[in-house]
Structure 1
Amino acid sequence: MPVDPDTPRGRRVLGKDRMEGFSDGVFGFAITLLVLDIALRPPGTPLQQVVHAWPAYVAYVVSFLTIGGAWLQHTALTDQLAQTDPLFLRLNLLVLLVVVFLPFPTQLVADALRNASGERV
């Protein structure tokens, strides 16, 4: 098979569109996971339940803003790229790993604020 002289040798270069689409989906999924911790828990009137759930609302807002800020920075970075390579894709996956993990500590913080009998640091 003849070798095309215009074909670059070395590292494989990839378009950035698929990475951006996947990354946006992961950011959206992570933000969606945050809302799962918000729930009204009896007893009490609906208003009392909403007031009692304030730790979940605070944790949601803080984590939403954190993930949103990471998404804004990610978007600003990828807007400057013309293409990606396998190393950049792997680094991007590490960033997404951290982003998807954020709902877990969010739930832990909300539970700790809600549970007055636990130890506080």
Structure 2
Amino acid sequence: MNKSRIEAFSDGVLAIIITIMILEIKVPHENTFQALKPLIPVFLSYILSFVYVGIYWNNHHHMFHLVKTINGSVMWANMHLLFWLSLIPFGTSWIGEQHFSAVPMSIYGFILLMNAISYTLLQNKLIRLQGKESHLHHAVKDDKKGKISLFFYIIAIPLAFVSPWISGLLYITVALVWIIPDKRIENQINKD
């Protein structure tokens, strides 16, 4: 199967996710700087989630650049990833509205964890389809960043009940680890 439709569909869904997140930020009814103060947590949660969606879009694009073909299993794994990505606006809105309190922060972390797991599942399906000698397998075979990310999410979720701020710092740390484009994949792309 041709991969162009899955890439185009995924790009469209990610664009809609970002649009939904920005539409959740309500304009203040007053025309003062003070009226913006209650929006600070909402805007901060938007920034973090925007970065996360951007990271997934960037890595999805790079990963599919190394892929020659797809199959039905890959299409369903991609839909699984898009499902979890589509929950980011909900988590974003909740942590912003509730000023990063424990339960919303733990649910946000769960959503991020499921995004990471579903991305890993998609990646593994693609590797199985492309083969152990594929560029994708060589690029991600020792996925330290992925494993560290999963570990941080797993500890951040219960830590939200101890300190939502520590939990938030772990989410930010994972984003910072991934914000730089993945050179492993770019190096494989340059081998062609």
Give the TM-score of the pair, scaled to structure 1: 0.78
**In the alignment, which residue of structure 2 is the partner of 1:95?**
81
Matches within 5 A, 1:59-98: 59-98=45-84
Q: Could you say what the CA RMSD is over the residues aligned between the two structures, in angstroms?
A: 1.9
Looking at structure 1, the residues matched to 94 and 61 of structure 2 have their Cα atoms a distance apart, in angstroms, of 28
Matched length: 103
Looking at structure 1, the residues matched to 8 and 93 of structure 2 have their Cα atoms a distance apart, in angstroms, of 27
DSSP 3-state at the match of 1:46: coil
Q: Percent identity?
A: 24
Shift of 1:45: 4.2
User: Which of 16, 21, 34 is residue 21 of structure 2 equivalent to?
Assistant: 34
Structure 1 unmatched ranges of 5 or more = 1-13
Q: Which has the larger radius of gyration?
A: 1
Deviation per CA, 1:71-111: give whole Å up to 9, x if none.
11111110001111000000000001111110001111011
Query: Which structure carries more helix by proportion?
Result: 2
Structure 2 unmatched ranges of 5 or more = 102-159, 162-192
Looking at structure 2, the residues matched to 35 and 46 of structure 1 have their Cα atoms a distance apart, in angstroms, of 21
